[in-house]
Amino acid sequence: MRLYHFTCSHCIAGVASEGLTEGSLLWMPAFSKKNLRMDSGWQWLTQEPDPKRQAWAKRFMLDCDREEWRLTIVVPFDVMPRLVRWTHLRSILPANQEWLSGFERPGSEAWFLFRGAIPATWIARIDRSAVEVPREDALRSI
């Protein structure tokens, strides 16, 4: 399956060489209605290739341009069970249904979470903004 991940200039070199390893999911444990938990090992992906249609990547929420670099990720078929559509996350974390629905934004139906690291070998392309360049050329410009 072909999906995309967007990142900024200060993260692209590490992601290009190490893959996606730092992703996390903020959620609320079932036993608590006020204590949030940050669960590492969840990589955020999207089906939407257009950097300007990423509702989560607004400058008022982040201090860098998270739309500057687009990575095309090819997820192998044998690991597809570790890929969860954002809109299905509430069935996995049922105590979080109301809380998670507050994060749904236009385009969130295209969001996915992958459980585990995404190795650099799954990165098929690295594009800077709207300029598409082969992965090897993009790596040289980092």
User: In this structure, which amino acid lies at residue 65?
Assistant: D
User: What is the residue extent of each domain of the chain?
Assistant: 2-21+37-141
Residue of 66 and 99 predicted with greater confidence: 66
Which of 21-35, 39-53, 110-124 shows the highest mean pLDDT? 110-124
- Nearest 5°: CA angle at 117, between 56 and 105? 15
CATH level 2 (architecture), domain 2-21+37-141: Alpha-Beta Barrel (3.20)
pLDDT of residue 58 exceeding 80 = no
With cut-offs at 50, 70 and 90, classify the pLDDT of residue 4: very high
How far apart are the C-alpha atoms of 18 and 8, rounded to whole Å?
A: 15
Residue 107 backbone class (left: φ over 0; alpha: ψ -120 to 50; beta: rest): left
Q: Is the pTM of this model over 0.95?
A: no
The DSSP symbol for 118 reads B
* Mean pLDDT, residues 101-121: 79
